[in-house]
Structure 1
Amino acid sequence: MLLGLLTLATLAVATDVVVPNPNLKIVGIPPIPAALANKVAPYTEFKPNTAVSWHPTRRELVVATRAGNTTQLHRVTAPGAAFAQLTDFTEPVRYGAFLLRKPDALVFTRDAGGNEQRQVYRLDPGAKEPVLLTDPARRNEPVGVTRTHEFMLIESTDLDQGGRRENPTVDLSLVDPLDLARSRKLATLPGTGWGDFSFSFDDKRLAMVEFKSVNESYVWIMEVATGARTRVLPSEAVTGTTRIASADLNFARDGRGIFLATDRDGEFRKLAYLDLATGKLEYFGSAGNWDVEQVALSPDGRTLAVLSNAAGIGVLRLYDAETRRELPRPALPLGTVRSATWHENSRDLAVNLNGAQSPGDVYSVNVPQMSVDRWTQSVAPGIDATQFRTPQPITWKSFDGLTISGFVTRPDPRYKGKRPVLINIHGGPEAQSRPGFMGRWNYFVDELGIAIIDPNVRGSTGYGKTFATLDNGMKREDSVKDVGALLDWIATQPDLDPSRVVVYGGSYGGYMTLAVATNYPDRIAGAIDAVGIANFVSFLENTESYRRDLRRVEYGDERDPAMRAFLTRISPVTNAHKIKAPLFVAHGKNDPRVPYTEAEQIVDIARNNGAPVWYLLADNEGHGFAKKANADFYFYSMIAFLEKTLLAR
């Protein structure tokens, strides 16, 4: 086993190098000079702020931001006020809300070591330890709250501690966070892709989405008293093979219909109203070739906040829910708007906003007055973020003539000559690279003079539902060819050096990185695989069962002999003998999505084939590095890897 080869750094290491913390195990990574850590330190201190929830009775926000080593929750009592830390745990806490019936009691979620086995807790005023509200043997998610605020809606599912399972289910329960004896199970649902829950204003019905894939979902209405369900979009009377996707359900105030986003009648998800009596869809709002990605109805049911993805930029629009006419737009700063959250007063709307020069801050809109308040101010001592470079859109033609797009961030013109390139391939694959704040990656551009390209290969979202299916099943390698075409495009650019290209990707992007390393071994100088898939068959067999069927729709069913043979043929472990460029692999040992054994496989085979391999394994992380101490050492190692492969240092 590779773990037997891993070396655990100890405090005996000399003081002129960085000492990895005891949770990090390393192979092949050279000592990191302490001078490097000191130099890059300002780039590791960005603290994006995210609005999580409003206080139910006061105009105060719960904001998530890093406190020490992990993200924790904080209370902000007014725009610009100092943060008061609410949670303080070794594990990150990213979601929490105060209870209306006990306004200073906080309900929050937390997992352990990145295992995503989330539990729900209540932290009472003055208490040192929280009260566990859910079954610790299961994975639990708070997915809604009744209109009366008496009950939380909790979705829970079993884990694979007793072995992998087929045909998993989820339980929906109403949980009273102040009196667990009043809690009850609503229903057991087939599959695990249920979400976007919305209670009717009388709490008698529950709207929900059954998610099958990014291109296929179904809208259901459940009777809360009985658990009986009726499919309403497409209705159970509709037959045919056309797949549609709908999301972001909001029961209308009168209970006669639902506001939602759907792509039933086109390539993009549009804002619509579904009449539950007639089944008729009525579209409204701004036109354009973009997806609606959030629909949030105010608690009084009178105003809709809608976020749209316009060429990668998140745009906020407001609508009168009764007339469905667009309201004036608030004067928010330039940037991408994400995640709109209403206060119970139905007047204040919190949004998160970031841009190339802003790490991420919280603003609120007073909707009746159309006034804007800035609640937080993200700063990084010693760095002028206003000087960071702005990504620019690019396009290129792929092997079959399909136009592929992405963004390039070029370094300052003070860097002369052709610049090395870092290609950053997003995960998902149902996701999209969008212009925004690059965080510590700004160091690569500003201090190393590296150009960064973020491609949106076929299979990405944001370009219509057809584009999102172009990599499914046995078309998987077509997306890899899109990166091959990008390498051709780089060679045509007068300021970019095609002989100095490193490919990076996380999760599915990690697979893409390894696939580029095996399909184009002579055209890259290095590859960095973070929590990536190396063997599709073992990945599908070992990912947590609550995820497996959803991943089979995208990648193919490994139980089918023909598909299994195809997945085996294209898997990087099968082709690892082709890897020539240096490889850096990083993974979290508790990853429930892509098990760390994927990393072990590719590292073992690549090392045995003589390829230079760096390997970093974090014992207390999951699908990514969430703890600053781990993320910092990973960052230092990435810099050292890029300096060696791209800058010959």
Structure 2
Amino acid sequence: MSTRSTMSRRGWLRLAGGTLAALQPLFGDASLWAAPARLGENMTADGVPRFEHHALGGERELPALRFAGWHPVKPEMLVLMRRGPSQQLHRLAGPGLAPEPLTEGRDGVGSAKWEPTAGYLVFTRDQGGNEAWRLYRLDAGGDAPVAITPEGERVSEYAFLPAGQGLVYLQERLDRRPRPGTPVEDDGEDGGEDERVEAPRVAASGVESALAVDDGMKDVGQEGAKDAAREVDASKLLSTSPALANLWWVDPARPQERRLLGATAGRLTGLRVSPAGRVLAMVTRDGRSQTLAFALDGSGARAPGAAARLGLGTGERTEDILWRRNAAVGEFRHLVRDDVAHGRHRNELTDVGADLEGLAEPPAGSDRPLALVYNVAGVSALRLYRPGTSPVEIAQDLAPGVIRGVSWHPTLPLLGFEQVSAESPSRLYVHALEEGTTRPWSAAGEGVPLRSAVLRWKSFDGLEITGLHIAPPARFTGPRPVYISLHGGPSSQARPGYVAGVLRALVEQLGMHLVMPNVRGSDGFGKTFLKLDNGRLREDAVKDVSALLDLVATRSDMDAARVVVAGGSYGGYLSLAVATHESPRLAGSICRVGIANFVSFLENTESYRRDNRRAEYGDERDPAMREFLTSISPLTHAEAVRKPLMVVHGRNDPRVPFGEAQAMVAAVRAQGTPVWFVSASDEGHSFTKADNRAYLNQASFEFVRRVIGGISLER
């Protein structure tokens, strides 16, 4: 029995529930009558038979807190935590205290930041997972949120100006609309399974930069340094009226008062506000990138260094310093010091040999050091750095994991951050600079942590590929089935983290090996490795997974006849590609929000990200590249998928359009292969609503249980 209609499902459940309740006295213990797994409120399960709810263990949502920012004066945090169906904004007044909710609703909050005077805060929220992030003002008195930005626009980055001068934000035009007949939830308010693609955070400030760009600043000491202050012709990059990407100034207290500072038919990224109040952003158009300083009166933009003559900002500083990361020298991202006033930059700490993945600049006027987060073989190392000295590592007693959201308190010598590890899905910490101590502000996870080891194998060309491996408990003997989980990106990385929900159940209840590969193109291994899957090299990453299957076949503890491959987003493409190339060696595969046809994907993804994706995958407008992209697309080879497939997709996905899933499902079913197709009308590129996630976890576990056990998927 397939579940296609939400209304018919509810009616059936009411009828079935009443019948079972009436029969229970006749047949004894109610535990013999397991309840069916229940669809989320806005979900559709096409081709999925009725199945019983599983006690997955660790299924209950743990109180994972995400650090959003500090109060400007008080030692308290803004944190994001699930409340009801979605992630909402909370206030955390101190270590060990209960978070106080600030927002509610079915749609979640993406990020938040206090205005420097603490009169109000600003947060982001989308609708139904569509990633059309809007800015909202929430006053300190707790009144209802007020929308700052118009509906139908997407805010990608935002930052406050100093001294109460308002807020600047980057906005991108959206050109996709829901298909006719596709329901979109509208309840007036604004990942997925545990291995889901995470809902993106909208950047509150742009301190990051791309791996390698022309940022428009000169190296200190370079011949002709006076050119750093020379004005550039921005007319070839910028527009005089709103375009695809726009930079706006707004007074959040009077949202109707906004002013266009810059616009381009290309992309605007890397929004930064200097200590003196200068507004910088990187403009990319037609393959050219340039960092420009924008006048607050909307009169134009110039190269950094020319900004002083325009009277930007409020300070009279001889130096106006910002810090960022880049990979201009060597294989890894390193620290870069930008002197905005003079248009110069200096590369620092270029010989660390590890990727600089995050940094926190000290507040203007303070004597605090920079906080640097390095990715050392997948594990985060937190270091404090004062220019001219060597970085000093702190928080060394923490369990190995990933550190995110590192941020200095605006007025107090406190450094906040969150960490994901095998012990906790996300735990908050604060380092007190004066005492030199690091203490938790939230509790650790529950249960016995599942720790990973590094698995290594050689690919077709001799390149060493690594992945994380979690073995099943010792009570499972003999060759055990294998679950291969492929990360998205592609420039992402499988790293040590917390395993719960469906993944934990696969390991502990089904006795599966969990392998999380870092195929070529993954981040954290240097620029050369990162580029090894670009353009026409795309299927080399698929061959890395094939080489992993070769390894599985040689191991006595792994059952090569019972392998499931799964992934989300780019990992969804990989899972489909492996299913077309390696179907005889698989038991089944799962694709979540994955690319089925590179050409239709590039033509239909949101235009604000299309050129960026063309740089990664190839330009489908070129006839030769179009032919190549078609030839490697899983949809082209759908007839080769002979093992069961599960497809998961949100109908509001702006990145990988829903049509990718529909086309692949139809093509695979056309040649007789069973497909489970799970979708939701209130989700986008990840499943974030609690009820949707609960069913998705249940269905994923049931799918895997059946394919490795030889159980029919159709009844």
**Number of the residue aligned with 1:246:** none
Matched, 1:318 2:334: no
Matched, 1:595 2:657: yes
Gaps of 5+ in 1: 233-250
- 1-side partners of 2:432 and 2:555: how far apart? 47
Matched, 1:283 2:352: no
Q: Say which of 266, 270, 273 aligns to 1:191.
A: 266
Matched, 1:483 2:549: no
**Number of the residue aligned with 2:475:** 414
**Number of the residue aligned with 1:404:** 465
What's the offset of the Cα at 1:629?
A: 0.4
What's the offset of the Cα at 1:543?
A: 0.7
- 1-side partners of 2:100 and 2:316: how far apart? 36
- 2-side partners of 1:308 and 1:437: how far apart? 20
Matched, 1:439 2:439: no
SS of corresponding position for 1:106? strand
**For the Cα contact (< 8 Å) 1:425–1:512, is it kept in 2?**
yes
Indicate how the Cα distance of structure 1 residues 206 and 589 shifts in structure 2: closer, same or farther if over 3 A, else same: same
**Number of the residue aligned with 2:700:** 638
**Number of the residue aligned with 2:59:** 43
- 2-side partners of 1:55 and 1:335: how far apart? 28
Indicate how the Cα distance of structure 1 residues 282 and 599 shifts in structure 2: closer, same or farther if over 3 A, else same: closer
- 1-side partners of 2:682 and 2:476: how far apart? 39
SS of corresponding position for 1:449? coil
How do residues 33-432 of structure 1 correspond to structure 2 at under 5 angstroms?
Answer: 33-34=52-53, 36=54, 39-40=55-56, 42-103=58-119, 105-127=120-142, 129-161=144-176, 169-180=244-255, 182-192=257-267, 194-203=268-277, 205-210=278-283, 219-224=291-296, 226-230=299-303, 255-274=319-338, 277=342, 279=344, 281-284=346-349, 287-300=351-364, 302=367, 303-321=369-387, 323-327=388-392, 329-336=394-401, 337-380=403-446, 384=447, 387-432=448-493
**Number of the residue aligned with 2:39:** 20
What's the offset of the Cα at 1:212?
A: 8.5
What's the offset of the Cα at 1:125?
A: 4.3
Superposed CA deviations along residues 264-316 of structure 1, whole A, max 9, x for unmatched, are 1211111233456484634237x443210112211135321111111111111
Indicate how the Cα distance of structure 1 residues 501 and 123 shifts in structure 2: closer, same or farther if over 3 A, else same: same
Matched, 1:506 2:568: yes
What's the offset of the Cα at 1:327?
A: 4.1
Higher relative contact order (CA 8 A, sep 6+): 2
RMSD of aligned Cα (Å): 2.7
Indicate how the Cα distance of structure 1 residues 107 and 527 shifts in structure 2: closer, same or farther if over 3 A, else same: same
Worse-matched range after superposition: 116-125 or 612-621? 116-125
| Length-normalised TM-score, structure 2 | 0.81
**What one-letter code is carried by the residue in structure 2 that aligns with 1:54?**
W
Percent identity, aligned pairs only? 37
SS of corresponding position for 1:538? helix
Worse-matched range after superposition: 220-229 or 600-609? 220-229
**For the Cα contact (< 8 Å) 1:48–1:359, is it kept in 2?**
yes
**Number of the residue aligned with 1:526:** 588
**For the Cα contact (< 8 Å) 1:49–1:361, is it kept in 2?**
yes
SS of corresponding position for 1:94? strand
Indicate how the Cα distance of structure 1 residues 645 and 197 shifts in structure 2: closer, same or farther if over 3 A, else same: same
- 2-side partners of 1:480 and 1:426: how far apart? 13
SS of corresponding position for 1:43? coil
SS of corresponding position for 1:139? strand
- 2-side partners of 1:256 and 1:76: how far apart? 33
Number of equivalenced pairs: 614
**What one-letter code is carried by the residue in structure 2 that aligns with 1:56?**
P
Superposed CA deviations along residues 304-355 of structure 1, whole A, max 9, x for unmatched, are 111111111111111125x454346245522322220121115111110121
Gaps of 5+ in 2: 18-34, 180-238, 306-314
SS of corresponding position for 1:95? strand
**For the Cα contact (< 8 Å) 1:201–1:255, is it kept in 2?**
no
Indicate how the Cα distance of structure 1 residues 458 and 149 shifts in structure 2: closer, same or farther if over 3 A, else same: farther
**For the Cα contact (< 8 Å) 2:157–2:271, is it kept in 1?**
no
**Number of the residue aligned with 1:245:** none
Matched, 1:617 2:679: yes
Query: Of the two, which has the highest radius of gyration?
Result: 2
Q: Say which of 516, 528, 540 aligns to 2:578.
A: 516
**Number of the residue aligned with 1:571:** 633
Matched, 1:464 2:529: no
**For the Cα contact (< 8 Å) 1:143–1:195, is it kept in 2?**
no
Superposed CA deviations along residues 453-481 of structure 1, whole A, max 9, x for unmatched, are 11111111111111111111111111101
- 1-side partners of 2:57 and 2:432: how far apart? 38
**For the Cα contact (< 8 Å) 2:3–2:47, is it kept in 1?**
no
SS of corresponding position for 1:605? helix
- 2-side partners of 1:388 and 1:216: how far apart? 47
**For the Cα contact (< 8 Å) 1:272–1:282, is it kept in 2?**
yes
